[in-house]
Amino acid sequence: MTMKQTLHLSFKLIAMACALSGSPAAWSQDKPVYRCPGNLYTDSLSAKEARDKGCKTLEGAPITVIQSQSPRPNAARPAGASSGQGDKVGAEDQKARDSDAKRILEAELKKEEDALAALRKEFNEGQPERRGDERNYQKYLERVEELKAAVTRKEADVAALRRELGKFGQR
């Protein structure tokens, strides 16, 4: 599960907790809780509505709600922390971030160029060595096509990294 999916699910669970907190019936689990497509959890549907929407009943499954921390006001935020709401970054901080980003891109470019060189060597200008498991000529041709596509993708990746690195020279 990706970080984005985890956060999305967490927000849904928090929203459900808020909705359930005001309902005494929900606390006693008198109403069934449904898990609907898209990881939506609800207890506000009738059995027919839940069935029509493709929801499954959660029976005997404990529901764990994790409460998140409320955001702190700007004055209490640590120095250097960004709320993502247009906060200004100092020139030194920005220079350090740019330096880190450039270093990371250079390392990634080196890694991708090495991988491209290895792919080109294996591709051998369209005439790769045949393997023992490629007695069937069609199987060999399929591998040649896969190698060609991999080389093309890797070349595009290298070009994109070079473009990104070129942006650092323009500042």
Closest CA to 39 of 63, 71, 68: 63
Over residues 110-154, the pLDDT tens digits come to 999 999 999 999 999 989 998 888 889 999 999 999 999 999 999
CA Rg value for the chain:
27
- Region of poorest pLDDT, from 13-17, 32-36, 167-171: 13-17
CA-angle at 88, arms to 83 and 94, nearest 5°: 105
Question: For residue 125, is it left (φ>0), alpha (ψ between -120 and 50) or beta?
Answer: left
DSSP 8-state class, residue 41: E
Residue 42 and residue 52 in contact, taking contact as beta carbons nearer than 8 Å: no
Sequence letter at residue 132: G
Question: Residue written as tokens 């309902």?
Answer: 23
Predicted structure pTM score: 0.47
DSSP 8-state class, residue 68: P
Spatial neighbors of 80 by CB under 8 A, at least 6 apart, are 93
Over residues 37-70, the pLDDT tens digits come to 887 777 778 888 888 888 888 776 566 666 677 7
pLDDT at 146: 94
Q: Which residues pair with 106 in a beta bridge?
A: none
Instruction: Please classify residue 55 by burial: count the beta carbons closer than 10 Å to its beta carbon, then call 0-12 exposed, 13-18 middle and 19+ buried.
Output: buried
Mean pLDDT of the chain: 78
Find the mean pLDDT for residues 87-105: 89
**DSSP assignment of 69-130, as one string?**
PPPPPGGGSPTT---SSS----HHHHHHHHHHHHHHHHHHHHHHHHHHHHHHHHHGGG-PPP
